[in-house]
Structure 1
Amino acid sequence: MNLFKRIRIFFNLRSDLEQEQAIIEEITRGVSFRGANLWVLIVAIFIASLGLNVNSTAVIIGAMLISPLMGPIIGMGLAVGINDLELLKRALKNFSVATLISVLTAMLYFLISPLEEAQSELLARTTPTIYDVLIAFFGGAAGIIALSTRGRGGNVIPGVAIATALMPPLCTAGYGLATGQLTFFFGAFYLFFINTVFISLATIIGVRLMGFRHHEVLAPDRAKRAHHILTLIIVATTLPALLMTADIIRTSIFENNLRRFIAAELAQSGTQILSSGRDATTKELRIVAIGRAITDDQQQAATARMEQYGLGGYQLSVIQGGASDSLLSLSSQLAQHTYTQEREKQKLLELSSDNASLTQRLEAYTRCEALATELRPELAVLFPAVHSLSLSRAVEVQRDTTATLHFVMAAFALEEGARWSAEDARRFEAWLKTRLSGDSVVLLPRTKVFSSMKAH
């Protein structure tokens, strides 16, 4: 037995494969989106949206684990792989319904959520690259292998759900619609489309390599047209991701070259480079430095060697000395001004709170004086036996408890010889409580003589 045959034995899947019909039935059951599956999807979308909103990776992973979105995607790949047109129609229909419900559910959540700021977990789903294409393809390959082998591959399917991350892009698309940020919507939905296409593509290749029987044999012209459509979808899906990846790589290379240039040509003892950056419009490299000055000769020599670092076409602009000090001073002043504004705002809030409290306490004390004046005409009509009435707020403390009692003390004096029964006292107290809007009232009778003395 030669080496190639020995290697083939290790990589042979046929001994582990389930019966073909059992695999197809298992995948077909996962295509349906009704009843429990639909409710689980809605709940998973809410959980994923919460995770994105509060920037919690653990919550997002939990939502991906319970999401049933993988079913119709693998179903579409299986349908194309075995030429089952009816299964493809069912899978497309359920996939479309699931996608629409997911986006609408996420949009509803973000419309009512008080947290509107886009967190890092959400932003990470708006700029797909070729690496997302590769993750989706290899994740789909792992998924179809797991579904086709005995025991259903253990933890492979949950792992595929996490790696390919179908839920977060749909939630981010819903966020984009809810906040009116279409760049978020299109970027996230493009990532979801990448995952869908390449999971399905891996499934197509998998079932064909494993020799699944075709449900129907397509005519040569139909087979050729289907092949062209599939190729067009793959190319159209991959091309934008390639362009985005190329841009990211170019930016990364440029930043690495800039760091190497600064370290080799401008760094020196006693000089600290505060910041560096480029202006793509003016083709200018801006370096902000403090400490020991970078001389004009050093700058000219560094400029002459910029081509060696892939920075050709850019002009070097070094901001240092007074200019850098001015920038630092301006930055410090801005920070101090911001801090001062915050402190003044806090003080204003405290003063406003104190003013409201003092106003409330003042009203409580002056209320009795104003009310006593209002009660004079009523007192003469309802209780002519009462010669005078004084009202004041009182606080009572007790020796054996820390509780304090607040009440209105009503001191009154009767006319000489006036008749005053217990019923009169009861009606007088009830009238005072009504006019004092339910405050506790303590009546304090006093003599007219004392009242006259106080008046003098």
Structure 2
Amino acid sequence: MNTFFSYFSLSNQIEDFQKVIKDIESNVEFYGTNLWLLIFAIFVASLGLNVNSTAVIIGAMLISPLMGPIMGLGLGIGINDLLLLRKSFFNYLFAAGVSLGTSTLYFLITPISTAHSEILARTSPNIYDVLIALFGGLAGIVAASSKHKGNVIPGVAIATALMPPLCSAGYGLATLQMSYFFGAFYLFLINTVFIALATLVVVRLLKFPYKKLQNPQDEKRANQIAWIVVVATLLPSLYLGYDIVQQEKFTQSAHRFIQNETRFPNDYLLEKSIDARQKSIVLTFGGKRITDSEIEGMKKKLGYYQLEGATVTVRQGFEYLNEIKQTSEENPLKQILAEREIEMIALKARIDSLEAKEVNTIQLTKEIKALYPNFENIAITPLRSPDTLKGKNLENQLAFLQFSKVLNSKEKIQLQNWLETKLHLKMKVIFDP
């Protein structure tokens, strides 16, 4: 058992404590090279967010030196080094201010102002971001304290994503979208607090040299402040994490409800819209009008899918667009667009109808082959006649079947009857040979 736990021991691989402290202190300050690297990294990350390029954003995170002062904060609290703590805090604020200013300036002058997915992904932090920052920070300080550092620190910088939230916050400021600013900046604070917390915990566990304060009350107050900051940062993320889980559950349940309960004879679901935040489902149908009783029957089944309280709005495709047409008569362009949309919906409904009637020849081939080992190929196509051109709905089909050996008359009749019964269609069958 002792041998098993020895695999988890860090004692033989821990670097000299003073060397670790010196290395972290050297990365705390921002001037000269570090400052220019930070500015360039912010520009690269902003460009990556602007063009929605994940690869460019990852490159910016590798360049960024932001991890230094954050780990310095955790180390300063962990060993009670007030001088290091003050220096780390000042440089952290300076780096964050420079980053925010640089990204805001970039988004003010860039001609592209659309919020792409890479920006939006960093404006709604939750408990999962807390866990990423915590475990990323643990990996970072353990690697920094080890003789075998490897390339963990760049990986932590990528995983915890310190740069993109600052750039997204700059985008929010530049475009005056304060919800983006506060959401992204909160994510940056989450990463800061929990990387620093991870550093503090590991430093205490590894028993780094601890500086006792002259006044025990000051030491107690410092620890209380540290944990108040941690809890104050954690609580909103817990709520946001719970909210995002509830929204995902609603979306999944809504998809199951739509898949199972929205099938009506001679109707086609043309469009569906799910808003998990508002708990609403909007369904647009084309085809025969659905009655009010059918709609009410569908809504009564919401409870089976844990969708109590959800609102379902049903729009009848053609009727809905006709309403648009009637209210747009004063605007010829809107009327033309409405007419074109009606034509497109009618065409889609026709295509859906044809696809519904299309014969599954793959499955049919397997079944015929099982009955007639000499069977080789089949082709089925609708028969076209003058009556079809006049609009009469005839479902006659032409089937061409190829065999390696000739079938006798009885087998041909049996096979034709089987095909018509199987497909529910009247058929003209040609055998080869």
- For the criterion TM > 0.5, the same-fold answer is yes
Q: Distance in 2 between matches of 1:130 and 1:239?
A: 9
Structure 1 residue aligned with 2:123? 126
**Residue number in structure 2 paired with 1:38:** 35
Partner of 2:137: 140
* RMSD (Å) for aligned C-alpha atoms: 2.9
Which of 97, 100, 108 is residue 100 of structure 1 equivalent to? 97
Partner letter of residue 225 of structure 1? R
User: How far apart, CA to CA, are the structure 1 residues paired with 2:277 and 2:184?
Assistant: 28
Post-superposition CA distance 1:372-391 (Å, at most 9, x none): xxxxxxxxxxxxxxxxxxxx
Contact residue 251 and residue 274 of structure 2 kept, 8 A: no
Change over 3 Å in CA distance of 1:218–1:324 after alignment to 2: farther
The answer on whether the counterparts of 1:18 and 1:150 sit within 8 Å (CA) in structure 2 is: yes
Mapped partners of 1:9, 1:117: distance in 2:
53
Name the SS of the counterpart of 1:318 in structure 2.
Answer: strand
Structure 2 residue matching 1:15: 3-state secondary structure:
coil
Alignment counterpart, residue 234 of structure 1, candidates 227, 230, 235? 230
Within the candidate set 160, 166, 191, 2:162 is matched to 166
CA drift of 1:96 comes to 0.9
Matches of 2:124 and 2:279 in 1, distance apart?
Answer: 25
Q: Structure 2: how far apart are the matches of 1:81 and 1:334?
A: 67
Shift of 1:272: 2.8
My pick for the range that moved more, 123-132 or 61-70, is 123-132
2:86 & 2:226 partners in 1: Cα distance? Answer: 16
1:57–1:121 CA contact under 8 A, matched in 2: yes
Partner of 1:111: 108
Gaps of 5+ in 2: 341-433
CA 1:300–1:113 in structure 2 vs 1: closer, same or farther (change >3 Å)? closer
Pair 1:253-2:249 in alignment: yes
More displaced 10-residue stretch of structure 1: 84-93 or 267-276: 267-276
- Shift in alpha-carbon separation, 1:286–1:179, aligned structure 2, 3 A: closer
Task: Report the Cα offset of residue 208 of structure 1.
Answer: 0.9
Q: Deviations over 1:90-131 (max 9, x none)?
A: 000111111111111111212221222222212211111111
Answer yes or no: is 1:78 the counterpart of 2:38. Answer: no
Q: Do the aligned residues in 1 keep the contact of 2:165 with 2:188 (CA within 8 Å)?
A: yes
What is the CA–CA distance in structure 1 between the aligned matches of 2:47 and 2:314, rounded to whole Å? Answer: 46
1:89 aligns with 2:86: yes
Q: Distance in 2 between matches of 1:26 and 1:235?
A: 29
Contact 1:76/1:200, CA 8 A, preserved across alignment: yes
Amino acid at match of 2:243: D
1:15 to 12, 23, 34: 12
Alignment of 1:250-399 (within 5 A): 250-267=246-263, 270-277=266-273, 285-291=281-287, 294-320=290-316, 322-324=318-320, 326=322, 337=337
How far is the alpha carbon of 1:274 from its aligned partner?
A: 2.6
Separation (CA, whole Å) in 2 of partners of 1:302 and 1:247: 27
1:451 aligns to what?
A: none
Rounded to whole Å, the distance in 2 between the matches of 1:282 and 1:50 is 33
Gaps of 5+ in 1: 341-456
1:222 is displaced (CA, Å) by: 3.0
Is contact 1:173–1:188 with CA below 8 Å preserved after alignment? Answer: yes
Q: Give the letter for the 1:206 counterpart.
A: V
Aligned mates of 1:247, 1:11 — CA distance in 2: 37
Alpha-carbon contact 1:283-1:314 (below 8 Å) kept = yes
Contact 2:133 2:194 in 1 (8 A): yes
Aligned: 1:65 with 2:65: no
The one-letter amino acid paired with 2:251 is E
TM-score for both structures, normalised by structure 1: 0.67
Displacement, 1:182? Answer: 1.7
**Cα distance in 2, alignment partners of residues 203 and 101 from structure 1:** 24
Q: CA deviation at 1:49?
A: 1.1
What is the identity, as a one-letter code, of the residue corresponding to 1:116? Answer: S
Q: How many correspondences in the alignment? A: 335
Pick from 156, 173, 184: which aligns with 1:177? Answer: 173
Q: 1:188 aligns with which of 171, 184, 190?
A: 184
- SS of residue matched to 1:235: helix
Residue 256 and residue 72 in structure 1: after superposition, are their counterparts in 2 closer, same or farther (change >3 A)? same
Contact 2:103/2:166 (8 A) holds in 1: yes
Read off the aligned partner of 2:258 and give its amino acid letter. Answer: I
Tell me the alpha carbon deviations over residues 335-365 of structure 1, each in whole angstroms, 9 at most, x when there is no partner.
9649x9xxxxxxxxxxxxxxxxxxxxxxxxx
* Paired residue secondary structure (2:20): helix
- Equivalent pair of 1:276/1:285 in contact (CA under 8 Å): yes
Q: Offset at 1:220?
A: 4.2
In structure 2, which of residues 136, 146, 150 is the aligned counterpart of residue 149 of structure 1?
146
CA contact (8 A) 2:80 2:213 kept: yes
Other-structure match for 2:361: none
Supply the distance in 2 between the matched residues of 1:175 and 1:196 (Cα, whole angstroms).
20
Please tell me whether Structure 1 or Structure 2 has the larger radius of gyration of its CA atoms. 1
Is 1:49–1:106's contact at 8 Å kept on the other side of the alignment? yes
**Which AA in structure 2 matches 1:93?**
F
**TM-score, with normalisation over the residues of structure 2?**
0.71
1:270 Cα deviation from its structure 2 partner: 5.0
Q: 1:71 to 1:303 in 2, by over 3 A?
A: same
